Amino acid sequence: MAEYKGIKGFKVQTVSTDPAASVLATGAWASATSTNTSRNSAQGAGAQSAAWVAGGAPPNEGSKTEMELYNGTTWTEVNDLNTARRNSGASGTTTAGLIATGHNFPSPSGITNVESWDGTSWTEIAEVNTARNGPKGGGIQTASIFAGGYNGTELTNAEVWNGSSWTEVNDLNTARSYMGGSGTSTSTLVSAGYTVPAPAQNAVESWNGTSWTSLTSVNTARGETNAAGVDNTSQLVFGGNIPPATGATEYWNGSSWTELNDLATARTTGGQAGTTTSALLATGSSTSATEEWTVGPPTSFSKENLGQVFYNSTANAFKVTKTVYAAGSWASGGDLNTARAAATGAGTQTTALSIAGSAPGGRTTNVESYNGSAWTEITDVNTARNELGGSGTQTATIIMGGYQATAPNIVGFTETWNGTSWTEVADLNTARDSLNQSMGTQTANLVATGNSSTGPVTFVESWNGTSWTEIADVNTARALLGEIGTQTEGLIFGGVNPPGAIESKTESWNGTSWTEVNDMNVGRDRIFGAGVQTDGLAYGGRLPPSPPAGVTGTTESWNGTSWTEVADMATARYNGSSAGTGTSALAAGGNNNTANVATTEEWTVPSSTQNQTLTAS
């Protein structure tokens, strides 16, 4: 006789533990034997089962010389350091260690002192070139690198040790101290840390033996953090100070950061050791606690897949694997060197450009490049202008149109950027200004509407890498609107149309025609935009003169169907540079209705993959 399950049912996988994103994600922290001496700001090195921790500070001010060795089971006090210190750089093993610089309280500027460990005692050796405390890096006793630190100001300096002397090498991109560091003298990662005036930050940089490269930021900004890893392709970052102290643990797989299981005891800098699959943290935040990170055996690993429905027999629950997005928020980034408005932007949140615009003295050719924390002036564009359009990446950008000081004021000039220089290419067919952005890449771009010599237009032009072609018009003529997406899947929103009405209209482009979709909640022009046709962000802008006030920090998120108001910008502004995606956007400069500003804000929507219980409804 046929079973009902065979007629109407379907199979659901049964598991005893929830699936995980990776074998590493199955890892967890477990308590181990405590150290003999409680302390904070110590340093350590070695492996999980053969580590050392030295120096540090007592619960109150001061510095320590105490040294302890770990054999995987117990901690043993051995010969002390010659010089008391805390917040040093450390590397090596239990039989061949190195400790460099640090803070010998109450000296505020750090020390240059370096000591070498031979398994029995510490010996003073050649000093570093720059006194500091709070540097990080990695390596072994005879080949190490330490970078950053603090000596009254945050440092970018990096120094390499070859076993006999210290050599200054290329600096970090971001000055900071008290970050997490791991790797070798030729393949290192430093993550998070502090910058003056000491906000915790999330910047990450990779060392390849020659130079530092900025990578994707950690999810949780923090200082006084810890790290483990063998090179610059992977890293485990754990603990730190947000504030308050955190137990957050994250893993870098060479392309992205994943949040993993937290430490049992939240704490700041301690003695760290080991690898991404077998790490150790001892002391920190005036504790003697030790924890060991171990990745579960592969035999128990079940990979999670988005949309997967399963039955957890241990929890007696049906579950589904899904991506969960937390509420987004704006955070301060590094200021532009030149306050400006009516510029255009390109790139991502951590690799962006702010191009031309209006600055003190008039329209400018100035261009600045962003590395995720600081702006640097680079090669100027050929024509000074504002209210231009543009998009692309930090190293492959296109800009077009705008308004220049001399007649004919409204121009169709187009320039492309190859990461080194700007080149004038074919002009737009219709000269226009009152643009904020365009859609697409350097070689496949789309620019819509704007303001010609006769007023706002419906015209749209497509760029094939060589020339512009007029294609299907938008439905509503307007200027100073937001434009996001690609050459074949675009979205435009907001703006101003004759006779000066502020717009909330949104139109979607499918590569052939424009379709009006749901309006924005707050109509505005001179708006910032980031993202793609199905996942966008509209932020800031200029409102009608009254009521309400004429400038806003309102932020709206687009899900492909409708707009939702989310967290406002800290600084209400319009007409600035934008870059990034719907979940990781950037706003730089603009005008706050009184003056041009130089401030930068970064929008982030934290996300995580979670196994969530299904309930009947």
- Give per-residue pLDDT as tens, 349-358: 989 999 999 9
> Minimum mean pLDDT among 196-200, 310-314, 450-454: which range?
196-200
The model's pLDDT over 511-529, given as tens digits with 9 standing for 90+, comes to 999 999 999 999 999 999 9
Residue 528 neighbours by CB under 8 Å, 6+ apart: 436, 482, 538, 539, 540, 541, 574, 576, 578, 585, 587, 590
Beta-ladder partners of 20: 303
Residue 5: pLDDT over 60: no
Residue 1: pLDDT over 70: no
Residue 21 pLDDT class (50, 70, 90 cuts): confident
> Minimum mean pLDDT among 91-105, 519-533, 597-611: which range?
597-611
| CATH (residue range 329-608) | 2.120.10.80
Neighbours of 395 (CB within 10 A): 15
Backbone angles phi, psi at 4, to 5 degrees: -60, -40
Residue 198 pLDDT class (50, 70, 90 cuts): low
Q: What is the pLDDT of residue 611?
A: 86
The model's pLDDT over 532-547, given as tens digits with 9 standing for 90+, comes to 999 999 999 999 875 5
Q: What is the pLDDT of residue 474?
A: 97
Residue 361 pLDDT class (50, 70, 90 cuts): confident
Q: Do domains 28-287 and 329-608 have the same CATH topology?
A: yes
Distance CA 430, CA 453 (A): 9
Q: What is the DSSP letter of 598?
A: -
Record the pTM: 0.65
- Residue 510's region, left for phi above 0, alpha for psi from -120 to 50, else beta, is alpha
In terms of pLDDT, which residue wins out, 218 or 25?
Answer: 218
Q: What is the pLDDT of residue 549?
A: 62
Chain center to CA of 180: 15
- Cα dihedral 491, 494, 497, 502, rounded to 10, equals 170
Amino acid identity at 493: F
Q: What is the pLDDT of residue 258?
A: 86
DSSP string, 277-309: SEEEEE--TTB--EEEEEPPPGGG--B--TT-E
For the chain, give the mean pLDDT: 92
Residue 296: pLDDT over 90: no
Residue 34: pLDDT over 70: yes
Mean pLDDT value across residues 65-90: 96
Q: What is the pLDDT of residue 605?
A: 86
Domain boundaries, the chain: 28-287, 329-608
The model's pLDDT over 134-156, given as tens digits with 9 standing for 90+, comes to 999 999 999 999 999 999 889 99
Tokens, residue 453:
């010599």
Residue 479: pLDDT over 80: yes
Residue 3 pLDDT class (50, 70, 90 cuts): low
Distance CA 183, CA 169 (A): 17
Distance CA 222, CA 224 (A): 7
Amino acid identity at 76: T
CA angle 258, 263, 266 (to 5 degrees): 115
Q: What is the pLDDT of residue 546?
A: 55
Neighbours of 356 (CB within 10 A): 28
Q: Do 305 and 317 contact (CB within 8 A), yes or no?
A: no
Distance CA 327, CA 256 (A): 20
Q: Which residues of 510-521 are buried (b: 16+ CB within 10 A; e: fewer)?
A: eeeebeebeebe
Q: What is the DSSP letter of 475?
A: S
> Minimum mean pLDDT among 66-80, 133-147, 313-327, 370-384: which range?
313-327
Q: What is the pLDDT of residue 548?
A: 56
Question: Can you tell me which residue has the tokens 């930090």?
Answer: 394
What percentage of residues in the chain have a pLDDT greater than 90? 78
Neighbours of 407 (CB within 10 A): 6
Class of domain 28-287: mainly beta
Distance CA 167, CA 209 (A): 12
Residue 478 pLDDT class (50, 70, 90 cuts): very high
SS3 content of the chain, % helix, strand, coil (to 5): 0, 45, 50
Q: What is the pLDDT of residue 271?
A: 95
Element (H, E) at 416: strand 414-417
DSSP string, 482-514: EEEE-SSSEEEE--EETTTEEP--EEEE-SS-E
The model's pLDDT over 366-388, given as tens digits with 9 standing for 90+, comes to 999 998 889 999 999 999 999 99
Q: What is the pLDDT of residue 216?
A: 87
Three-state SS annotation for 393-436:
CCCCEEEECCECCCCCCECCCEEEECCCCEEEECCCCCCCECCC
CA angle 269, 100, 174 (to 5 degrees): 65
Q: What is the pLDDT of residue 394?
A: 94
Residue 4 pLDDT class (50, 70, 90 cuts): low
Residue 199: pLDDT over 70: yes
Q: What is the pLDDT of residue 423?
A: 97
Mean pLDDT value across residues 425-438: 96
